[in-house]
């Protein structure tokens, strides 16, 4: 009984795959992914459920995370960069970029919001002090008077 540790990876590959494919809930898959790197690699795509219906899928990679709806449109994306840096993208259902949030340094983030039709909003926040700077950049730049006349 000393060495009675159950080794899942001692099973044949076909049986391992059958067992892992039997895990069919989002929570079960995410909990299984958290146990080891082999399971993390096996479950690189995780379906998202709402009231028993699949409404999208999470796609995990080593350097990014993507959430797609059922039509395959990217809704959200996070790109992980070296030294704990990241960049978050959010898209509308028709694929138009709505918002970008990125960290500038350990305490600061910058959000660029493209959702307003008249201007782009850039907001810089610091986790220690709150909002530091806010800019609104007009999308439509009207020229001045006619220079020809």
pLDDT given for residue 1 in this prediction = 43
pLDDT tens digit string along 11-41? Answer: 888 888 898 888 888 888 888 888 888 888 8
C-beta atoms surrounding 56 within 10 Å: 19
pLDDT tens digit string along 107-120? Answer: 999 999 999 888 99
Say which DSSP state 62 is in: S
This prediction's pTM: 0.76
Q: What is each CA distance from 86 to 2, 61, 70, in whole angstroms?
A: 46, 14, 26
pLDDT tens digit string along 74-119? Answer: 999 999 998 889 999 999 988 899 999 999 988 999 999 999 888 9
């Amino acid at each position: 009984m000393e060495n009675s540790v159950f080794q899942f990876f001692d099973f044949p590959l076909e049986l391992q795959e059958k067992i892992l494919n039997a895990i069919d809930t989002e929570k079960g898959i995410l909990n299984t992914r958290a146990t080891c790197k082999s399971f993390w690699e096996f479950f690189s795509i995780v379906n998202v459920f709402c009231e028993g219906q699949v409404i999208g899928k999470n796609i995990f990679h080593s350097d990014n995370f993507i959430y797609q709806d059922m039509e395959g449109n990217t809704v959200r994306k996070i790109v992980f960069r070296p030294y704990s840096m990241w960049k978050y993208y959010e898209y509308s259902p028709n694929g138009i970029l709505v918002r970008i949030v990125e960290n500038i340094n350990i305490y600061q983030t910058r959000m660029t919001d493209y959702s307003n039709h008249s201007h782009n909003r850039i907001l810089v926040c610091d986790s220690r002090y709150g909002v530091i700077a806010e800019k609104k950049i007009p999308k439509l730049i009207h020229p001045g008077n006619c220079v020809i006349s």
